[in-house]
Amino acid sequence: ITPTEMDLEIVYEDEDVLVINKPKGLVVHPAPGHSDDTLVNGLLYAMGDDLSGINGELRPGIVHRIDKDTSGLLAVAKNDLAHTMLASQLKDHSMHRVYEAIVCGSFREDSGTVDAPIARKPLPSLLREISPQGKPSVTEYRVIEETGGYSKVALRPITGRTHQLRLHCAHMGFPILGDPQYNTESSRALSDSMGLHHQLLCAKKLEFDHPVTGAHMVLESNLDAKI
């Protein structure tokens, strides 16, 4: 992987942990079709060898990921101990992640929980679908405000399935505005008319215990999901 100079917004950094404010449009790590100009390329330029190696050469330091067109906070481990401890918090759900999204439609209830299993669609598709044969997937939601047929909602993924928030919002009947894959025909046409080609979804808040000191960390992105 070629280290690439990149303007990374660092929200927090110490000798163990790095938290990045990822802009939309940036792929987190190399994958088929995206071998260069990923966040990992930028991290290697900025950090050199000061990244954990648990996830291998293609994903150094990456504890969790967010979609290319989702903006917001992403935790990076600078050593294997920090990576192990953060991954453990992610697994037992003690690492709290809160996203903001703008969705189509208005809710009847101010808050609730979506419990709908998610499975991979048959290959060669890389998309996911709601399926009884899928893995357990749970998301909590809370309405922040509603206006003009749209709602801004806070979304907390209890599990961490690929495309979970986008799928669960669509499953409820409130697709995320601008989502190119999981929108209905009408909401996709609305997104196109507004010139939106990425989902209005932001990883707004990240809360975890520091993997070495144990200090409780609460970090918030200055980015927003907005039209």
Instruction: Spell out the residues 6+ positions from residue 69 whose beta carbon is closer than 8 angstroms to its own.
Output: 24, 25, 198, 199, 201
Residue 185's Cβ-side half-sphere holds a number of Cα atoms within 13 Å equal to 0
Compute the chain's Rg from CA coordinates.
Answer: 18
CA 182-183-186 angle, 5° bins: 160
**Terminal Cα-to-Cα distance of the chain (whole angstroms):** 35
Which residues pair with residue 34 across a beta bridge?
A: 31
Among 170, 137, 172, 174, smallest CA distance to 152 is for 174
Does residue 67 carry a catalytic annotation? yes
Q: Per the residue annotation, which of 16, 67, 69, 179 is the catalytic one?
A: 67
CA quadruple 162, 93, 38, 83: dihedral positive or negative? negative
Q: Please enumerate in sequence order all residues whose Cβ is within 8 A of that of 54, keeping only pairs 6 or more positions apart, or say none.
A: 77, 80, 83, 84, 87
User: Which residues are marked as active site?
Assistant: 67
